Amino acid sequence: MSWPRGLACIWAIAINTVRESVRSKLLYGLLFFAVLMIGAGAIVASLSYVEGERILQDVGMGSVRLFGVAIAILVGINLIHREVDRRTVYTILSKPLSRGEFLVGKFLGLTLTIWIQMAIMGVAFVGVSLATGAPLGVPHLVFFFLAGVELALVVGIATFFSAFTTPVLAAFFTSGVWGVGHLSRQLRDLGAASESAPFEWATWLLHRVLPDLESFNLASEAAHLLPVTASDWVLPALYGAGYLTLVLFAAVAVFERRDLR
């Protein structure tokens, strides 16, 4: 990967990917429903006599994460596959850029798109919270930051699967990793409590190999405005960055070897 020409190519691919998303009706639809859900939190909260503000924010933060992951998976699984399938990749890779630069550019473009959408959802969340008098604080900021890291990681995983398999399989694998990634702590604890050594070993391995996505989930701390220390967000962010780097290296290695027939 040459520098900084490589960087310029990555950026050109990324900006083009953002432009594709901006001109896509699907993402506007998803974003509309996400904002609608955040707003609907106020209605759900009004039905409760207790902890209405917490319910409002739980629904809002849940919507942000759910719709963020939906966009990451829906778009991410097609990210590389569609380029190869439609053969747009032929003209791009005939230019002086490597497959790695292309793949990283596509990943970066989708991640930027999702972060922009998260920012819009964040504005809606803050707006609804202020309108209903729900408290806001630093934990909410940290929640959004770590949700952004998690979504970047999910995009990375989707990109990895998209580099060598079909969108259906990539969706299946990415959703699976996302689901198990959120349950792996509980699975590990379950394994540790069991009397079966192989099960304990398997659940421990699963927890180690798959991303521990619960480490990015600070929704509960945010909803209760619990104090957040630097280690609560710096360590997960570093873990996410490290894991993402490995996933992208693997994706590039797979894509570099792929025969584009």
Partner 1 sequence: MTRAEIVRVDALTKDVRPGFGLRTKRVLHDVTFCVREGEIFGFVGPNGAGKTTTLKILMGLSRATSGSARVLGHDVSETAFRRHVGFLPENPYFYDYLTGRETLDFYAKLCGLSRAQRRERVDVLLAQVGLDHAADARIRTYSKGMQQRLGIAQAIVHDPDVVFLDEPMSGLDPIGRKDVRDLVLSLREQGKTVFMNTHILHDVELVCDRVAIIAGGRIRYEGAIQDFIGAGERLTDLLVMGVPAQVGAMVEERFAAHLQGVGERIEVRVSEKHVDAALAVMLEAGARVVSVSPHRASLEQIFLNAVEESRK
Q: Which residues bind partner 1 (CB under 8 A)?
A: 2, 5, 8-9, 12-13, 16, 19-20, 23-24, 86-88, 90-98, 259-261
Minimum Å distance from CB 231 to partner 1?
A: 41
Minimum Å distance from CB 259 to partner 1?
A: 5
Q: Using the minimum distance from each CB to partner 1, give the nearer residue, 2 or 48.
A: 2
CA distance 91 to 108: 20
Q: Using the minimum distance from each CB to partner 1, give the nearer residue, 32 or 90.
A: 90
Q: Which two tokens stand for residue 52?
A: 């209405």
Minimum Å distance from CB 112 to partner 1?
A: 17
Q: Enumerate helices (H) and strands (E) in the chain, giving the number of each.
A: 11, 0
Cβ atoms of residues 247 and 157 within 8 Å: yes
Closest CA to 105 of 7, 171, 246, 24: 7
Q: Using the minimum distance from each CB to partner 1, give the nearer residue, 97 or 210.
A: 97
Minimum Å distance from CB 105 to partner 1?
A: 10
Q: Using the minimum distance from each CB to partner 1, give the nearer residue, 82 or 185.
A: 82
Minimum Å distance from CB 126 to partner 1?
A: 31
Backbone φ, ψ for residue 151 (5° rounding): -65, -35
Q: Using the minimum distance from each CB to partner 1, give the nearer residue, 24 or 46.
A: 24
Residues near 9 by Cβ (< 8 Å), separated by ≥ 6? 95, 96, 97, 101, 102, 105
CA distance 111 to 255: 19
Cβ atoms of residues 167 and 78 within 8 Å: yes
